[in-house]
Amino acid sequence: MDGIIKVNTDTQTVSARELHGRLNIGTRFNDWFAHMCEYGFAEGLDFYSKKSKTDGGGRPPTDYDISMDMAKQVCMIQRTPEGRQCRQYLIDMEKAWNTPEQLMALAVMEAQKIIAEQ
């Protein structure tokens, strides 16, 4: 199950476009994402919009960084084998982040940042 979907470990978010593709959704991304937002997800809390980069000219498509919680719920809403697989992967990622060793390493990194800023 390694690397099913890229997770930004700094912000603990997932690209909504990448998740949409991995879930094999048949509808257009914009329509699908708007429908997912009808479940009560809020911009600034559950997701943040960003412009995707394009190789050619033209208007760049909008992507969204979605929280791990939103990503897991979206996967569950799909009720497909791909949704279950992605959701389990995200759950496993969170478990790995929350081990005592990882939490301690994160605390040390944050302390080093604070010291460096002083």
For 85, the token pair is: 């697989």
Residue for token pair 């997932």: 14
Residue 72 counted as domain residue: yes
Taking 80 as the threshold, does the pLDDT of residue 37 lie above it? yes
Query: What pLDDT does residue 34 have?
Result: 96
| 2 lies in some domain | no
User: Looking at the 3D structure of the chain, how many domains does it have?
Assistant: 1
**How far, in Å, CA of 91 to CA of 89, rounded?**
5
Residue at 83 is within a domain = yes
Q: Which two tokens stand for residue 52?
A: 């995707």
Give the whole-angstrom CA distance, residue 9 versus residue 96: 11
Tens-place pLDDT, residues 52-99: 676 777 778 899 999 999 999 999 999 999 999 999 999 999 898 888
113 HSE (CA, 13 A, CB side): 6
Question: pLDDT tens digits, residue range 39-52?
Answer: 999 999 999 998 76
> Is residue 31 in some structural domain?
yes
Reported as a pLDDT band with limits 50, 70 and 90, residue 1 is very low
Q: Is residue 1 part of a domain?
A: no
